[in-house]
Structure 1
Amino acid sequence: MTRATGVGSMPGTTDADHAEAVRFVLGELPDLPHVPEVPGRGVAAAMTGRGLAVVEGLAADLQPAGWRLTDTSGVDHRRARSLLAQDLDTVEEHAQDYAGAFKTQVAGPWTLAATVEKPRGDKVLSDHGARRELAQALAEGVRVHLADLRRRVRGVDRWIVQVDEPALGAVVAGQVPTASGYGRHRSVDLPEASAHLEWVVEAVVDAGGEAWVHSCAPGTPWSLVAGTGVAGLSADLDVLGPGDLDTFAEVLESGRSAALGVVPSTDPATAPSDARLTERVQRWLDMLGLDPEAVGEHLAVTPTCGLAGASPAWASQAVRLSATTARNL
């Protein structure tokens, strides 16, 4: 059975919007709901702030240039942790009777390294030791985070942790700007890029979960990601290159999962029909030489990326289109 799920973010600007998103996701995505994120509430609720809220053993603060590691947690870091706990309270309250699979999301080690600064400035990415320490702190935080989720929602028999890595392609290609904006950080060697992801994947597995990696950015090295032991890949189909198709085919043939982003994540000029979206997925599978019936249970249908930039009306429609397309398949 093909399932539908969301990438993570939903529109909104208040805690009430988050509570409504939880209710909506549980109602419209009953086969694979996810912990909604509402980054419109501010930097503490956005991807980097939420990732730092999960990290264990490191402190951070919000500076004019963005998030920075510090000796002690600043007010914004404490706010990020408080907001995460509050959001999980909401999920716990509304999902008490839920049974089945559930998904949560966390920023990956390379995306954090590319967006968080060292104590004295410039990105963590610029320092080999600092990026290793951040990745290991994230891995430990993921263990704690998943244990907390398992305690809160006891009916879940399959926790999926989606590791968001939109910056991974830029990291390995040496395209992340330096603090001045005039240069680029050196590319990270592929073995190191793989190792840091592996630490997080292993932490998910150690905590009894299943790790997927998501990116809706072009240039993501999917063959590298697939080799880290992840159980699933999640991508916008529009940005996959020819070589990526082989990687996704191999993942599906090996019994792992693929989440296919096919529904626009921002308001389109003309909304696609579920029949058109279904046909697109079927054509994609045919191009890969895969039998839809054989791999269907390993597929998930999603919007192309997070829905934070969509209008509330389109976000609702996009989720429903994903669910209808999955049922059609």
Structure 2
Amino acid sequence: MSTATGIGSWPGEDMRTALRWVRDVLGEVESDGTRFGLPYLPELPGRGPGADMIGRAAGLLVDMPVDLQPSGWRLVDRPGRDLERARHLLRRDLDDLAEAFDGYAGPFTVSVTGPWTLAAHLRLSRGERVVGDEGARRDVAQSLVEGIRTLLADVGRVLPDATPVVKLDEPSLPAALGGELRTSSGYGRVRAVDPEEVRRVLREVVDAIRGAGAREVVAHCCAARPPLPVLRGAGVDAVSLDVALLTDRGWESVAATVEEGVTLWAGVDLADAVERRAQGREGAHHLVVDPLVRRWRELGLETHLLDDVVLTPTCGLAGATMPQAVDTHRMLLDAARELHWRIAESC
């Protein structure tokens, strides 16, 4: 059934407020017992270092302490204040989650920076990117898996009746594959990573996350050319994409991905629809649903597969206002309902 969810980040610094809105909008259950929303644990990067996606993931690493330098997060020998801050923020977020979602039963998404994006942004002690060192990137991936296991166990304790979904955020994966990442000097580029190694490492991470109890593993890559063959080969259950950026060739790759049984999380452009809804004008959800349905038909995909699509914003909402973030999620929920009922009527 068509579903609506968010990408991760929210504006502001108040996790309790963000969680309350996520539950009120996406946790709503219809009168017939159906649920069109998929709640999730937000990120609030506006709180500063350690609340950002890289800092939060770095704080999960086991036996690989980090600190924060002007160039970004760096591996170090001993844990310090920066690492403790990142871990403290996550502990506090989980406490707020337990309060806001007390008694919740159903699917719930936790987002974690994926191994390749983390390796692309994390630095070795000498300042170079982890992704440029084969041994270091392997160690980081393995350590991240252990951290995700711990995180899922913690989420399971505070939400014992939830079924976890893990979203791996990999916005920098295309740059790692394409050799587009700058060296520390700024003059060179880190050597491109072999796609087979990327696939193998991601497969190991995905399998380990499933083994830790995740119902689904989603790979999120908001690039114009997401490496879908690699992601399919890694065995993910779904891919989360900014469909507004896709070319015709990109959509063809999406079609091949969907036909292999991988679900599409479609990041859709909501600006016009949200504005129309705010003005009280009818049919705002059509601005979201119609282009997606039209593209689906052009690709010749079976209509029933469209009902599996999860609708999301094109990117996080850290730069929005709180009312804008709430309106965005409400618009997504309206669009998911419309998409589901439209498909039901056509079948």
TM-score range, shorter chain: over 0.9
Q: Which runs of 5+ in 2 are unaligned?
A: 28-36, 277-283, 340-347
1:71-117 CA-to-partner distances (Å, cap 9, x unmatched) read 11121111101111110111111112211111010001111111110
- Where 1:44 maps in the other structure, the secondary structure is coil
Contact 2:273 2:287 in 1 (8 A): no
Q: Given that residues 244 and 269 in structure 2 are in contact (C-alpha distance below 8 angstroms), is that contact kept between their aligned partners in structure 1?
A: no
Task: Compute the displacement of 1:256 (Å).
Answer: 3.0
2:333 corresponding residue in structure 1 = 323
Written as runs of structure 1 = structure 2, the 5 A alignment for 1:111-260 is: 111-156=117-162, 158-209=163-214, 210-260=216-266
Structure 1 residue aligned with 2:342: none
- TM-score relative to the length of structure 2: 0.89
2: distance between equivalents of 1:211 and 1:133? 21
Question: 1:23 is matched with which residue?
Answer: 20
Instruction: For 1:4, give the aligned amino acid.
Output: A
Q: Hey, which bits of structure 1, 4+ residues long, moved more than 4 A? A: 267-270
Moved more, 272-281 or 75-84: 272-281
Separation in structure 2 between the aligned mates of residue 320 and residue 269 of structure 1, nearest angstrom: 11
For 2:256 and 2:155, how far apart are their aligned partners in 1? Answer: 31
Select 2:89's aligned residue among 83, 88, 100: 83
Correspondent of 1:271 among 268, 275, 293: 275
**1:9 corresponds to:** 9
Structure 2 Cα separation of the partners of residues 217 and 43 of structure 1: 24
SS in 1 for 2:291: helix
Deviation, structure 1 residue 270: 8.0
Matches within 5 A, 1:29-40: 29-30=26-27, 31-40=37-46
Q: TM-score, length-normalised on structure 1?
A: 0.93
Larger-gyration structure (1/2):
2
Q: Is the 8 A contact 1:142 1:200 kept in 2?
A: no
- Name the Cα RMSD after superposition: 1.7
Amino acid corresponding to residue 309 of structure 2 in structure 1:
L
Partner Cα distance (1:85, 1:284) in 2: 43
Distance 2:61 2:224 in 1: 27
Task: Tell me the percent identity.
Answer: 41
Structure 1 residue 220 displacement after superposition: 2.2
How many pairs does the alignment contain? Answer: 322
CA separation in 2, counterparts of 1:284 and 1:96?
A: 40
Offset at residue 152 of structure 1 (A):
1.5
- The change in CA–CA distance for 1:125 and 1:268 in structure 2 (over 3 A counts) is farther
Does the aligned pair in 2 maintain the 1:252–1:298 contact within 8 Å? no
SS of structure 1 residue aligned to 2:209: helix
